[in-house]
Amino acid sequence: MSYALDANILLYASDATSEFHSRAVTFLENCAADDEVLVLAWPTVMAYLRIATHPAVFDHPLEANEALANVENLLRLPQARVLSEGPEFFALYRELADAHAPKGNLVPDAHLACLLRSNGVKTLYTLDRGFRRFDFLRVERPWD
């Protein structure tokens, strides 16, 4: 089995002012202690780096090196895997787009969903309910 994380989990863990901060940190600590394959997609990593360091998003954004170190710590976990697009990706994305017509802010969600599907990852931990539109994904809240 494997599971993926959405960027919002990483962002809550990095934002000490978030109401979800302590729960996100605990969740990531549990992920680190678990043997199950933890999947990170490059779009998730890049979204985290972009948002966590953005001064218009956070009052106290992370320095680039801090955000990079957070990602490196996750990637060093022996059970961590990184997903990227293969040569068939766009055809698969086109199929998903025909079914769901993503546009605007939904494009990155469709990108991640398609990437997970093409790699056989069925579970995504996120607080973003929008992923529920993809019936091939099991969308789970990381705490509740």
In a domain, 44, yes or no: yes
pTM: 0.94
Q: What is the pLDDT of residues 13-72, one digit of tens each?
A: 999 999 999 999 999 999 999 999 999 999 999 999 999 999 999 888 999 999 999 999
- Give the CATH number for residue 134: 3.40.50.1010
Whether 98 maps to a domain, the answer reads yes
What order of strands is seen across the sheet that includes strand 37-41?
80-83, 37-41, 2-5, 123-125, 138-140
Domain limits at 52? 2-139
Structural domain contains residue 10: yes
Whether 144 is covered by a domain: the verdict is no
Q: Render pLDDT for 113-128 as a digit per residue (tens, 0 to 9).
A: 999 999 999 999 999 9
Residue 107 lies in a domain: yes
Residues found in the chain: 144
The total number of structural domains in the chain stands at 1
